[in-house]
Amino acid sequence: MKVLINQVVHDLPEGACLAQAIDAIDAKQPFAAAVNTHFVPRARYHQHLLHDGDHIEIISPVTGG
Amino acid sequence: MTAQTNDDPLFLYGQRFESRLLLGTSRYPSPTLLAAAVQRASPAMVTASLRRQTAVAGETGKPFWQLLKDLNVPVLPNTAGCHGIQEAITTAQMAREVFETDWIKLEVIGDDYTLQPDTLNLVTAAEQLIRDGFKVLPYTTDDLVLCQRLVDVGCQAVMPWAAPIGTGKGPINPYAMRLLRERLSVPLIVDAGLGRPSHACSVMEWGFDAVLLNTAVALAQDPVAMAGAFASATQAGRVAYLSGTMTEQESAQPSTPVLGTPFWHHTAN
């Protein structure tokens, strides 16, 4: 299945979980994740199953005003 | 730090802060100058944000994270760039996990040109975040009724702008800002639009409780010195407010006693 991770298309196996998507981009701590604009706590990365077309955001601290 | 500062702490959501200056971390010439500016200003909090890991090359990830930890100043995450209620709420939840704090500077942008807050959705977003346990500091315009609604839904402090973000124009509507101070009893933090220390001093003289700055310090020719100047101006304005300024007079009033003035009414020979 195809999912968007930070706006880039990735192929993941059917039934993949959010943890696999995070591994796919080799995300570096610290970060937080959301799927289809809904926050997913880190404790649920392995339980949260993805679906074809899901939009995944993985974001990290940056400077801000 | 003066004795006056210690006797006059800022309280937000019941938490005590020794400084009345909040400082942004963006747009500095270098991380070293950012760190030095924070040290010079001794702010109550520093603001930070969240972006995609691949979006800002060289800035995301551990270097900034480590700098934040080294600063040892409470972090106020923001929802900058969010344009809708769900976006803002999700970003706040992600910030809470990453920064391990319930504090959130709530931004819901309604107009990309002026970065004016979405006044129709801001209150709803604030209400939902407060129900979810956040300590919400909403970035808002100087509209009195909007600020009152934010208080009504549980915001224990409100952050009206002085002018659009990054403009440095200073207070563009002093009447509205002073009216806010007169009508609202919650802490008011002026967020955005201040360009000079005198702007910070003015709003503090009017009775605002704190100021939040970024660009005015970061883009100064000497950001570290400017951070100190803003800290001093903020403190000066606060002390002036507490001291009670004199009533403005229409006509000149001599400050030196007139009685006994030498040569008074002598006719020149």
Identify the domain containing residue A58 by its residue range.
30-65
Which of B43-47, B97-101, B110-114, B235-239 is predicted with the least confidence, judged by mean pLDDT?
B110-114
Q: Say whether A63 and B61 touch across the interface (CB within 8 A).
A: no
Question: What is the pLDDT at residue B5?
Answer: 47
Flag whether A20 is in a domain: no
**What average pLDDT does chain A have?**
96
Per-residue pLDDT, averaged over B101-124, amounts to 95
Q: Above 70 in pLDDT, residue A16?
A: yes
For residues B44 and B9, give the distance between their C-alpha atoms in angstroms, rounded to a whole number.
Answer: 10
Residue B189 and residue B22 in contact, taking contact as beta carbons nearer than 8 Å: yes
Per-residue pLDDT, averaged over B21-27, amounts to 97
Question: What is the pLDDT at residue B61?
Answer: 55
Which of A55-64, B52-61, B197-206 is predicted with the least confidence, judged by mean pLDDT?
B52-61
Per-residue pLDDT, averaged over B156-172, amounts to 96
ipTM: 0.96
- Single-letter residue type at B31: P
| Nearest-neighbour CA in chain A from B64: distance (Å) | 7
Residue B64 and residue B94 in contact, taking contact as beta carbons nearer than 8 Å: no
Q: Say whether A65 and B60 touch across the interface (CB within 8 A).
A: no
Sign of the CA dihedral with B188 first, then B193, B196, and B202 last = negative
Q: Residue B31 belongs to a domain with what CATH number?
A: 3.20.20.70
Q: Above 60 in pLDDT, residue B48?
A: yes
Per-residue pLDDT, averaged over B75-84, amounts to 96
Q: Above 80 in pLDDT, residue B59?
A: no
The number of distinct structural domains making up chain B is: 1
Flag whether A49 is in a domain: yes
**What average pLDDT does chain B have?**
93
Residue B93 and residue B131 in contact, taking contact as beta carbons nearer than 8 Å: no
- Using CA atoms, how far residue B163 sits from A47, B126, B139, B245, in Å, is 46, 21, 12, 25
Question: What is the pLDDT at residue B57?
Answer: 46
Q: Say whether A59 and B214 touch across the interface (CB within 8 A).
A: no
Note the pTM of the prediction, 2 decimals. 0.92
The number of distinct structural domains making up chain A is: 1
Nearest residue to B117 (alpha-carbon basis) of B151, B149, B146, B157: B146
- Using a CB-CB cut-off of 8 Å, the residues of chain B touching A42 are 97
- Using a CB-CB cut-off of 8 Å, the residues of chain B touching A38 are 86, 90
Flag whether B187 is in a domain: yes
pLDDT per residue as tens digits for the range B176-228? 999 999 999 999 999 999 999 999 999 999 999 999 999 999 999 999 999 99
Flag whether B268 is in a domain: no
Q: Above 50 in pLDDT, residue B4?
A: no
Question: What is the pLDDT at residue B260?
Answer: 86
A-B interface: how many C-beta pairs under 8 angstroms?
104
Flag whether A41 is in a domain: yes
Flag whether B250 is in a domain: no
Identify the domain containing residue B64 by its residue range.
3-243
